[in-house]
Amino acid sequence: MAPPGNDKNQLFLGLFIHSVKLGELQYLHDTAVCVDKSGKIIAVEKQCDQKKAEVTLYPKLGWKVDDVTVTIAKDGQFFFPGFIDTHIHAPQYPNVGIFGKSTLLDWLNTYTFPMEASLSSLPKARRVYTRCIQRTIAHGTTTAAYYATIHVPSTNLLADLCLSLGQRAFVGRVCMDNLGPKYYLDESPSKSLAATRATIDHIRSIDADFDLISPILTPRFAPSCSVDAMTQLGALHQETGLPIQTHIAENVDELKLVRDMFPDSKNYADVYDRFGLLGKRTILAHAIYLSEEEADLVAHRGSKVSHCPCSNSALTSGVAPVRWLLDKGIGVGLGTDVSGGYSPSVLDAARQAALVSNHLAMPPRTGKKQIDSSADTEANTSFKDDRELVRLSVEEALHLATRGGAEVVGLGEKIGGFEVGKEWDAQLIGLGLVPEEDDSTELKQDDQDQDQDTGNVDIFGWERWEDRVAKWVFNGDDRNVKKVWVRGRLVHERR
């Protein structure tokens, strides 16, 4: 079986915005993008309207007018690549916003494990997963790297639902056979591995080539897995080449736990490396407290990092040094980390990534390292310069949300931008246009429909497009996501 294709070829017209490299958005005005029935972009033509496309592009592509669906980005709208959530726990979705003053390890025991354990119930899992997928799609997430639970049937159900609702996904059955509550643990390493194999087989039965849905090996985090389980997972990765996702260096108590549990390992990254779990297809969530040596190892192995700023702030975990990771050559994407993170929106994650990076640039106010930044010494000037470098711009945050995320999940060739050969995973973004004074009292019905649903982003018309995008990043939400496509299939429409 394979995911369904589309009945018609598709022509998209208007403004396309995408990241071409870290820190650089490209604005393609008055452009035509042609997408074939398999969902692939087969032509991108600048300075092209519908008429010109019909006359010049269609014959070249062998297209007939009545075999093409046309979608036009209207004034104030633009196409943007779909967001890629590189780290999200679907079963924790009902808990978004519920974390109190807890930090990682007590949060797991208080909120997370009881909720995950309860999703052994298939009706409950169906309800939670359906809403989680629908909600993230509505926020423009076209690809998600999901952690499910330890249960095979409900993990399989998550894969089924992603396929039917049309979201591209990596679905991981969580392996945990070591540390965890008695009521929520794999019974043994061999049962853990057998359960993971069962979910892989299931996903192969619904999407043979993993075109839309792929399994992903998911050791929850080092302390939750036995040495035996991690050894077998490493072997399974070697055998199948499947991607891996896990957590690393999120919280200081967790670091101590790892040191105590793995005294023979040099450091946290080395624990995964010893079991063959640190490779090109490994997604490491958080990576807040990596040492220089660990970051060099991660870079050397080609493993990637999922930056989860919302969760890192909510659980008081720490501030990840994203610029430092990028400068090491490590690929970085964004994760919502629902429900350590309270928001299912990757746009929110981009916003938080920018704001949190500013925190690294501010003088510390507590602790021993307080800096007198007002003193005009050479050391302080260079420190201030260094601090300035850590800040992430809107363009950089959006890169991590799209093209950067695509590389993190190993789909850099397929998604993340609007080049020919990529698949059409995209969203149509609509911003609110504030009517001219003359029009404001008597709006046409059409405009009213459009204006009522544009959320908090008010565009007056004099803003440069760069500024409009910044206004969207800081004030936008799902009300701005008008349509969403995955592999050319329309999977969400806001009416």
| Number of residue whose CB is nearest Zn ion | 337
Measured from the CB atom, the residue of 102 and 480 that comes closer to Zn ion is 102
Closest of 236, 161, 237 to residue 202, by C-alpha = 161
Measured from the CB atom, the residue of 91 and 234 that comes closer to Zn ion is 91
Measured from the CB atom, the residue of 9 and 141 that comes closer to Zn ion is 141
Binding flag, residue 425, Zn ion (CB under 5 A):
no
Residues 197 and 195: their CA atoms lie apart, in Å, by 5
- Give min distance, CB of 250 to Zn ion, in A: 8
* Token pair recorded at residue 194: 């057998």
Measured from the CB atom, the residue of 79 and 107 that comes closer to Zn ion is 107
- Give min distance, CB of 467 to Zn ion, in A: 34
- Give min distance, CB of 92 to Zn ion, in A: 8
* Token pair recorded at residue 309: 């700023």
Residues in 362-401 at the binding interface with Zn ion, rule: CB under 5 A: none
Residue of the chain from 337, 396, 423, 425 that contacts Zn ion (CB under 5 A): 337
Stretch near Zn ion under the rule CB under 5 A, chosen from 46-54, 121-129, 331-339, 422-430: 331-339
Question: Judging by beta carbons within 10 Å of its beta carbon (0-12, 13-18, 19+), is residue 173 exposed, middle or buried?
Answer: buried
Q: What is the CA radius of gyration of the chain?
A: 23
- Give min distance, CB of 306 to Zn ion, in A: 8
What are the angstrom distances between the C-alpha of 450 and each of 112, 468, 483?
40, 17, 13
- Give min distance, CB of 285 to Zn ion, in A: 5
The neighbouring-strand residues paired with 333 are 306
Measured from the CB atom, the residue of 236 and 308 that comes closer to Zn ion is 308
Residues 225 and 215: their CA atoms lie apart, in Å, by 19
- Give min distance, CB of 366 to Zn ion, in A: 27
Residues 157 and 206: their CA atoms lie apart, in Å, by 11
Please name the residues in contact with 60: beta carbons below 8 A apart, sequence gap of 6 or more. Answer: 43
* Token pair recorded at residue 323: 């610029």
Please name the residues in contact with 89: beta carbons below 8 A apart, sequence gap of 6 or more. Answer: 112, 116, 146, 147, 337, 338, 339, 340
Measured from the CB atom, the residue of 307 and 492 that comes closer to Zn ion is 307
Measured from the CB atom, the residue of 6 and 86 that comes closer to Zn ion is 86
Stretch near Zn ion under the rule CB under 5 A, chosen from 34-42, 129-137, 330-338, 442-450: 330-338
Site size toward Zn ion (CB under 5 A) is 1
- Give min distance, CB of 218 to Zn ion, in A: 10
Stretch near Zn ion under the rule CB under 5 A, chosen from 6-14, 334-342, 420-428, 477-485: 334-342
Closest of 23, 72, 1 to residue 404, by C-alpha = 23
Please name the residues in contact with 369: beta carbons below 8 A apart, sequence gap of 6 or more. Answer: none
In the complex, the residues that contact Zn ion under the rule CB under 5 A are: 337
